[in-house]
Amino acid sequence: MKAIAQDRYGSPDVLELRDVDTPVPADGEVLVRVHAVSVNAYDWHLMRGHPYLARLSFGARRPKTPIRGRDFAGRVEAVGENVKRLRPGDEVFGEADGAFAEYVSAPQDAVDRKPANLSFEQAAALPLAGNTALMGLRDLGRVREGQRVLVNGASGGVGTFAVQMAKAYGADVTGVCSTRNVELVESLGADRVIDYTQEDFTRDGQRYDVVFDLVANRSLRDLRRALTPTGTLLLSGGGVSDGGSLLGPVRLTLKGQALSRFVGQRLLSFFAQPSAEKLTALRELVESGQVTPVIDRTYGSLGETPEAIRYLEVEHARAKVVVTV
Query: The domain that contains 264 carries what CATH number?
Result: 3.40.50.720
Asked whether residue 316 is assigned to any structural domain, the reply reads yes
Asked whether residue 204 is assigned to any structural domain, the reply reads yes
Per-position b or e across 168-183, b if 16+ CB within 10 A of its CB: bbebbbbbbbeeebbe
Asked whether residue 118 is assigned to any structural domain, the reply reads yes
Asked whether residue 102 is assigned to any structural domain, the reply reads yes
Angle at the Cα of 39 from the Cα atoms of 134 and 141, rounded to 5 degrees: 15
Q: Are 20 and 142 in a shared domain?
A: no
Range of the domain at 114: 2-126+293-324
This prediction's pTM: 0.91
Asked whether residue 164 is assigned to any structural domain, the reply reads yes
Instruction: Give the total number of structural domains in the chain.
Output: 2
Measured torsion, CA atoms of residues 27, 33, 35, 39, in degrees rounded to the nearest 10: 40
Angle at the Cα of 291 from the Cα atoms of 282 and 173, rounded to 5 degrees: 115
Q: Are 262 and 145 in a shared domain?
A: yes
Asked whether residue 172 is assigned to any structural domain, the reply reads yes
Asked whether residue 77 is assigned to any structural domain, the reply reads yes
Residue pLDDT, tens place only, 233-248: 999 865 544 444 544 4
Q: Are 66 and 158 in a shared domain?
A: no
Q: Are 165 and 47 in a shared domain?
A: no
Q: Are 98 and 205 in a shared domain?
A: no
Tell me the C-alpha to C-alpha distance, in Å, between residue 171 and each of 93, 178, 300, 308: 28, 22, 37, 34
Q: What is the pLDDT, as a whole number, of residue 247?
A: 46
Q: Are 64 and 170 in a shared domain?
A: no
Q: What is the mean pLDDT of each run of 10 residues along the chain (325 residues)?
A: 95 95 96 97 86 71 89 98 96 97 97 97 97 97 97 96 98 97 97 97 96 90 95 78 49 59 79 92 98 97 96 85 97
Q: Are 121 and 194 in a shared domain?
A: no
Asked whether residue 55 is assigned to any structural domain, the reply reads yes
Q: Are 163 and 256 in a shared domain?
A: yes
Residue pLDDT, tens place only, 37-86: 999 998 988 898 877 676 777 777 788 889 999 999 999 999 999 999 99
d(CA 249, CA 236): 9
Q: Are 10 and 115 in a shared domain?
A: yes
Q: What is the pLDDT, as a whole number, of residue 216?
A: 80
Q: What is the pLDDT, as a whole number, of residue 244?
A: 47
Query: The domain that contains 48 carries what CATH number?
Result: 3.90.180.10
